Amino acid sequence: MTPDQVARRWFREVWDEGREEAIDQLMAPDGVAHGLGPAPIKGPEEFKSIFRMFREALGDLKIVIDRTVVEGNMVAVHCHVIARHVGNALGGPPTWRPVDFWGMTIARVEGDQIVEGWNTYDFLTMYQQMGWVSNPPVPSTRETPSAPAR
């Protein structure tokens, strides 16, 4: 499989279909995922705990791949995440609110498995949509005065 095919299969089978066994098939035994917690996630077993947390917290989960870019064995995936907050797994009771946010994954693929992935998702927007974080004040559109000269 090409890196694009591996990435598309990962998002479809693991996230959209919720197939935990696909993690073992598509993530290398020594694979590493960055950006989904305070420390890198190492191997399929550790990744399954993150998978379970998000699957419990977010119902009706759908990740739409907007575009991919491939260079050699690397693939960048631009994703649109659509779900509903339905479970306690993120640290608080379900709000039942919809969430709709974007993110990106860059994955290094060897053979038919992801060996390393770097993730950046707009979880701040997700928490704002769930009502857990207040939206910051919007700056005024009028110009602010310049600082006085010294």
DSSP designation for 14? I
48 within domain boundaries: yes
Query: Using one digit for the tens of pLDDT, what is the confidence trace for 26-45?
Result: 999 999 999 998 999 999 99
140 within domain boundaries: no
Domain count, the chain: 1
149 within domain boundaries: no
144 within domain boundaries: no
Which CATH number belongs to the domain containing residue 63 in this structure?
3.10.450.50
Residue 142 has pLDDT above 80, yes or no: no
DSSP designation for 42? E
Non-local (6+) Cβ contacts of 41 within 8 A are: 32, 33, 34, 47, 50
Identify the domain containing residue 15 by its residue range: 3-130
DSSP designation for 132? S
| CB of 122 closer than 8 Å to CB of 103 | yes
**Res 139: pLDDT:** 78
28 within domain boundaries: yes
108 within domain boundaries: yes
Residue 114 has pLDDT above 90, yes or no: yes
Taking the CA atoms of 89, 93, 98 and 99 in sequence, report the sign of the dihedral they define. negative
Query: Using one digit for the tens of pLDDT, what is the confidence trace for 76-111?
Result: 999 999 999 999 999 999 999 999 999 999 999 999
Tell me the C-alpha distance between 78 and 81, whole Å: 10
